[in-house]
Amino acid sequence: MKLKKQRKKNLILLIILPFVIIGIISFILYNKITPLLLNYAEIESKEIAYLIIDESIDTEIIDKIDPQNLFTVTKTNNGDIQSVDFNTRMVNEILELIGKKIFFNLKKAEEGDLSIINKENNNQSSFEVPLGKIFSNPLFSNIGPKIPFKFKLAGAVSTNISTVIKNYGINNVVIEVYIDIEANIRMLLPITSHKCLINNRFLVAMKVIPGSIPKYYNSGLNSASNLLTIQ
């Protein structure tokens, strides 16, 4: 009778043990491989997002930015620069136009349309990480299954304007106008997800003005556009 019970216990252990071992191995692999997968997916997603943002700010938009009308320079009677003020209406129009275009193109990329960056994805809504590629070894780069992942906008596309005023040559200043862009994207893998911040800065206008750097200039230049938020 005791021998029968012992055999029954051994049989139960033999049945359970493989599942325990598989569970432990799966846990170890999950903790080792998941960060590598996320890192690769983040690099790929950021590369695509930066290319899309670059292409969104095209010559059509840049041509609409006229430095002569973008800001007003006020000088003293002695010819020194007293203040530099932005054309708020023009700034907001430009920021809104850029924000909408980036938002639209990133949303298209979510659905697999990468035509704006001339990258083929066969209009698939997901991208793939070759499992062998995460080990940073060329021998394994195309070995193993491919793990699908998606990226989606998370939150908003934010656009702001900022300026840099600095001395240029003798008794001149140069005003540089930048567009600052921020967007959050989320990478979605079968077993996990991760959010990362995309930010970029573009020089969109430059103007050289005779005079010295003013004690005051309107860097209310950080004029923000309306956020384009995903509901």
pLDDT in tens, the chain (231 residues): 555 556 666 667 677 777 777 777 666 666 677 787 888 888 888 888 888 888 888 766 777 777 777 777 777 777 677 777 778 888 888 888 888 888 988 888 888 777 777 766 555 556 777 766 666 666 656 666 677 788 888 877 888 888 888 877 777 888 888 889 999 888 888 777 888 888 888 888 888 877 766 555 444 333 333 333 322
Per-residue pLDDT at 224:
37
Per-residue pLDDT at 25:
67
Residue 200: closest CA among 221, 227, 225, 181: 181
For the record, the structure tokens of 55 come out as 């292409």
pTM score, two decimals? Answer: 0.70
Q: Taken in order 200, 157, 61, 87, is the CA torsion positive or negative?
A: negative
The SS3 of residue 148 is strand
Per-residue pLDDT at 142:
64
Cα dihedral angle (81, 87, 88, 93), rounded to 10 degrees? -150
Q: How far is CA 189 from the centre of its chain?
A: 18
Going through 131-171 in order, the beta strands assigned E by DSSP cover 146-167
Asked if 202 and 58 count as a contact pair (C-beta separation under 8 A), the reply is no
Per-residue pLDDT at 225:
35
Please report, for residues 27, 76, 119, 164, 177, the alpha-carbon distance to residue 209 in angstroms, rounded to integers and kept in the order given: 64, 14, 42, 13, 14
Per-residue pLDDT at 181:
92
Per-residue pLDDT at 219:
43
Q: Where are the alpha helices (DSSP H) in the chain?
A: 2-56, 59-62, 67-70, 88-110
Per-residue pLDDT at 89:
84
At residue 207, what are phi and psi to the nearest 5 degrees? Answer: -145, 135
